[in-house]
Amino acid sequence: MAKLIDGKKLSEEILSSVAVDVKKLNEKGISVSLAVIIVGDNPASRTYVNNKKRACEKVGILSHEFALPEDTTQQELMRLIDELNARSDINGILCQLPLPKHLDEEPVIETILTQKDVDAFHPSNVGHIMIGDFKFLACTPAGIMEMLKSEGIDVCGKHCVVVGRSNIVGKPMAMLLLKANGTVTICHSKTKNLQEITKQADILVVAVGKPKMIKGNMVKQGAVVIDAGINRDENNRLCGDVDFAQVEPKASKITPVPGGVGPTTIAMLLRNTVTAAIIQNNL
């Protein structure tokens, strides 16, 4: 039976550390603030935003929500980002994705100032992750690396297989594992013989957005399995990209859904926001 990697517990530890840093900045007369933009009424996005706001309150970060209607134009959204870029009282800017279909995400991401890009989605910040010289890390991959560290899992020399190649999780995840001296294979929808590759993984990270895609016969005995997916199953219950019931008996360690990767993602977002405040105040 696999050991569960408790993301909730780890996130509380990270948030406690963040709260200490926020308090130190407050004592110097510096407040830490995060602007969160949400467009439309996507229920999942609303849940994520509410969770981020609660986490901000917990650690003493000021949270500013900008809830825009579904029919917001590209120009209106860009104007708001320009205004937030110019505000010295805003340290971090987060635009909740996905945006409604009529809006283009790319210029939105590129317009947010790199020093306020606490999601680390801007091409410049992505480039810094690529070369290993970064100030901000993509939140989900950063949280996963913290999970591995907290469990004493040494990435060095391990075969790490990442299933998924998104700019948000898959690609930066591969770069962080590579930086930690893992041997990395990236798989995606066009990969042939996926099962043969995933069965070679010492550390398997899955982020594809397909419910229970990874089955027991796709995992090596004793592998560490990190499930970054969040989906609804046929009974409308939350589940990951990994078929937990099948994979858990084979894994040595595994993340649950919910309660695994998700909480650490939010914790790392707030850590990035503190980093942004420190940079902007030349500390």
Q: How far apart are CA 61 and CA 83, in angstroms?
A: 20
Q: What local confidence, expressed as pLDDT, does residue 218 receive? A: 98
Residue span(s) of the chain under CATH 3.40.50.10860 come to 29-114
Q: What is the pLDDT of residues 60-86, one digit of tens each?
A: 999 999 999 999 999 999 999 999 999
Q: Region 122-146: what's the mean pLDDT?
A: 96
Confidence band of 43 (pLDDT split at 50, 70, 90)? confident
β-pair type (3-4, 253-254): parallel
Q: How far apart are the first and last CA of the chain?
A: 47
In the predicted structure, residue 190 carries a pLDDT above the cut 90: yes
State the pTM of this model.
0.95
Query: Can you name the CATH fold of 29-114?
Result: Rossmann fold (3.40.50)
DSSP assignment string, 26-59: HHTT---EEEEEEES--HHHHHHHHHHHHHHHHH
Q: What is the pLDDT, as a whole number, of residue 234?
A: 87
Homologous superfamily of 139-262: NAD(P)-binding Rossmann-like Domain (3.40.50.720)
Q: Where in the chain is the domain with CATH 3.40.50.720?
A: 139-262
Name the one residue in this structure whose structure tokens are 């066009």: 190
Which pLDDT value is given to residue 42? 87
Residues recognised as catalytic: 52, 96, 119
What pLDDT, on a 0 to 100 scale, did the predictor assign at position 181? 98
Separation CA 278–CA 30 (nearest Å): 9
pLDDT digits (tens, 9 = 90+) for 201-240: 999 999 999 999 999 999 999 999 999 999 988 888 999 9
Report the chain's mean pLDDT, rounded to a whole number.
96
How many residues would you count in the chain? 283
Q: Does the structure show a pLDDT above 90 at 44?
A: no
Rounded CA gap, 130 and 184, in Å?
Answer: 14
